[in-house]
Structure 1
């Protein structure tokens, strides 16, 4: 068995950055007409449910005016809407629409197909090795990502 080198946080961070950058470049080739920011916002709305615009802007690291403009564009495309907050009728929450969910699903399917096509070019043992690695890595990455929005929103108080 090959010896696994011991790596510190900096080396792991660099490897993850290389992986993410490469995958993003690959996946943005077929964006289904959506920017990465639009996709991130719709994905967050789908995962977390209706959310205040100010909280959404902070979580995505953009200014409130920028998020307001994006949400207006999403509303115009019927990908998102604003609904009354059940706890405070004066407050409006941003939510993803069924059309937004379908657009996200199409984008995911297109990205999955692009990666599957690439995987099909690899030897079977490489695909198995990647599958085993992903089985180990994904729970760790999901935990890590689960802390990221909270850290950014609580960090220095800025939304940029």
Structure 2
């Protein structure tokens, strides 16, 4: 297996995929926080730090901006009254869901242009890509 080519293809696909026409423009860090909270939230700010790869002051500022825009909210952590949990609001969930729906639409149009053989190969790759994602999440 040519891991260098696989890496390049994944990078190229990701670059195109994350740039599919958005409904509303956000910077990458803001979208990452929204998607992380959608997938894993509610979370403490300290739990977001490792996934978002930002310094705490930058992440604090970003979350504050998202909160002002009504996309996230802070609530007291029931396990620790000194801390708060950050979660998506309905508007934040709508952003993530709308982006996902647009990606489905655009990816469907691209997949429809593949040959039946190419679609079969791609379908067989879904489970393998999912497994690679699981392995990456389990790796410190």
Which TM bucket (shorter chain)? Answer: 0.7 to 0.9
Matched residue count: 140
CA 134–86 in structure 1, closer or farther in 2 if over 3 Å, else same: farther
CA distance in structure 2 between the partners assigned to 1:107 and 1:31 by the alignment = 7
Partner of 1:140: 128
Per the TM alignment, residue 101 of structure 1 is displaced from its structure 2 partner at its CA by 0.5
Is this contact kept in 1: 2:38–2:96, CA < 8 A?
Answer: no
Q: CA deviation at 1:80?
A: 0.5
TM-score for both structures, normalised by structure 2: 0.83
Contact 2:44 2:85 in 1 (8 A): yes
The SS at the match of 2:54 is: coil
Alignment correspondent of 2:8:
14
* Alignment pair present for 1:51 and 2:43: yes
Q: Which has the larger radius of gyration?
A: 1
Show the counterpart of 2:29: 37
Which range moved further: 63-72 or 15-24? Answer: 15-24
Structure with larger RCO (C-alpha < 8 A, sep 6+): 1
Q: How does 1:90-129 map to 2 (within 5 A)?
A: 90-120=82-112, 122=113, 126-129=114-117
- Deviation digits for residues 6-62 of structure 1 (CA, Å, limit 9, x no counterpart): x2322322222222223234x1x3252222222211111111121111220221111
**TM-score, with normalisation over the residues of structure 1?**
0.74
Q: Evaluate the alpha carbon distance shift between residue 149 and residue 83 of structure 1 in structure 2; reply closer, same or farther with a 3 A threshold.
A: farther
In structure 2, the gaps of 5 or more residues are none
After TM superposition, the runs of 4+ consecutive aligned structure 1 residues lying more than 3 A away are 117-120, 127-131, 146-151
Gaps of 5+ in 1: 1-6, 155-160
Query: Over aligned residue pairs, what C-alpha RMSD do you find?
Result: 2.2
